[in-house]
């Protein structure tokens, strides 16, 4: 197995990935799209999103062009470390749970880490397979994209805070909850999303 990518992507790396995705999916450069949007696109974010969707520009590519036109949000320009520190600033005792989950990643395979304002996404080369989010002052949720989840009292419905791709969550209250069962589940979810 290849080693996990242990350094979360910076916003600059994320932006570069989005630029490459835009060019790959549309055949046009970011500069060409920026000129097209400047010349013909609507001014408001809502109208711009609809206008881009009509041209089959969706998802991360659309987000990139909206940011280019309307400005990048503050959280997008912070480093991954700054974002994670912010997530755990008022609950530092939960940071060890996050660190324990990250420590498992090398044994899974190659994992990309994408840090956002309120959560951290874990991705295979294909797509996101897990999300780590401190959701209360006493719990971190590990959301999993898992269609074949076992029936376990440790797994429950994820709610909307973890994103639409997550199908189940495991609530973690201490680093001790990152046990053999959780490691096995995480491996199964990783393998199912390759």
> pLDDT digit of tens for each residue in the chain (194 aa)?
333 445 566 677 878 989 999 999 999 999 999 999 999 989 899 999 999 999 999 999 999 999 999 998 877 788 889 999 999 999 999 999 999 999 999 999 999 998 888 999 999 989 999 999 999 999 999 999 999 899 999 999 998 778 788 999 999 999 999 999 999 999 999 999 99
pLDDT at position 74: 76
pTM of this prediction exceeds 0.85: no
pLDDT at position 189: 97
DSSP string, the chain: -PPP--SPBPHHHHHHHHHHHHHHHHSS-HHHHHHHHHHHS-SSHHHHHHHHHHTT--HHHHHHHHHHHH---GGGGS-HHHHHHHHHTT-GGGHHHHHHHHHHHHHH---EEEE-SS-EEEE-SSSEEEEEEE-SSS-EEEEE--TT----TTEE---STT-TT--EEEEESSGGGS-HHHHHHHHHHHHHT-
pLDDT at position 8: 60
């Amino acid at each position: 197995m290849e080693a996990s990518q242990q350094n979360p992507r910076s916003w600059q790396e994320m932006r570069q990935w989005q630029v490459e995705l835009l060019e790959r999916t549309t055949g046009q450069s970011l500069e060409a799209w920026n000129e097209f949007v400047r010349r013909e696109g609507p001014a408001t974010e809502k109208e711009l999103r609809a206008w881009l969707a009509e041209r089959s520009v969706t998802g991360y590519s659309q987000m990139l062009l909206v940011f280019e036109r309307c400005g990048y949000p503050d959280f997008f320009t912070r480093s991954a470390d700054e974002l994670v520190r912010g997530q755990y600033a008022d609950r530092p005792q939960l940071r060890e749970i996050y660190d324990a989950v990250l420590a498992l990643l090398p044994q899974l395979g190659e994992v990309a880490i994408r840090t956002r304002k309120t959560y951290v996404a874990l991705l295979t080369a294909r797509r996101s397979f897990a999300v780590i989010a401190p959701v209360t002052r006493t719990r971190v949720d590990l959301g999993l994209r898992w269609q074949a989840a076992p029936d376990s009292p440790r797994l429950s419905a994820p709610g909307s805070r973890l994103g639409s791709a997550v199908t189940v969550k495991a609530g973690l209250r201490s680093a001790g909850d990152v046990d053999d069962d959780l490691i096995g589940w995480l491996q199964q979810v990783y393998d199912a999303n390759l």
